[in-house]
Chains A and B, each alone.
Chain A
Amino acid sequence: AQRVTQPEKLLSVFKGAPVELKCNYSYSGSPELFWYVQYSRQRLQLLLRHISRESIKGFTADLNKGETSFHLKKPFAQEEDSAMYYCALSDRGSGGGADGLTFGKGTHLIIQP
Chain B
Amino acid sequence: DVKVTQSSRYLVKRTGEKVFLECVQDMDHENMFWYRQDPGLGLRLIYFSYDVKMKEKGDIPEGYSVSREKKERFSLILESASTNQTSMYLCASRRRGEYEQYFGPGTRLTVT
Contact = CB atoms under 8 A, between A and B. Distances in A.
Do A and B come together as binding partners? Answer: yes
Contact of B42 (A95, A99, A105): A105
B58 A100 contact: yes
Interface stretch (A43-51, A64-72, A73-81): A43-51
Contacts of B49: 98
B62 interface: no
Main secondary structure on A side of the interface with B: loop
Contacts of B89: none
B103 A44 contact: yes
B50 A98 contact: yes
Interface string B95-110: 0111111011110000
B48 A44 contact: no
Contacts of B105: 43
Interface residues of B, number: 30
B104 A97 contact: no
Contact of A103 (B43, B50, B94, B99): B43
Contacts of B90: 44
24 contacts: A6-B42, A32-B99, A43-B104, A43-B105, A44-B103, A45-B103, A46-B100, A49-B99, A49-B100, A86-B42, A96-B97, A96-B98, A97-B31, A98-B48, A99-B48, A100-B33, A100-B48, A100-B92, A101-B45, A101-B101, A103-B44, A105-B40, A105-B42, A106-B42
Interface of B: 4, 30-31, 33, 35, 40-45, 48-50, 56, 58-59, 90, 92, 94, 96-101, 103-106
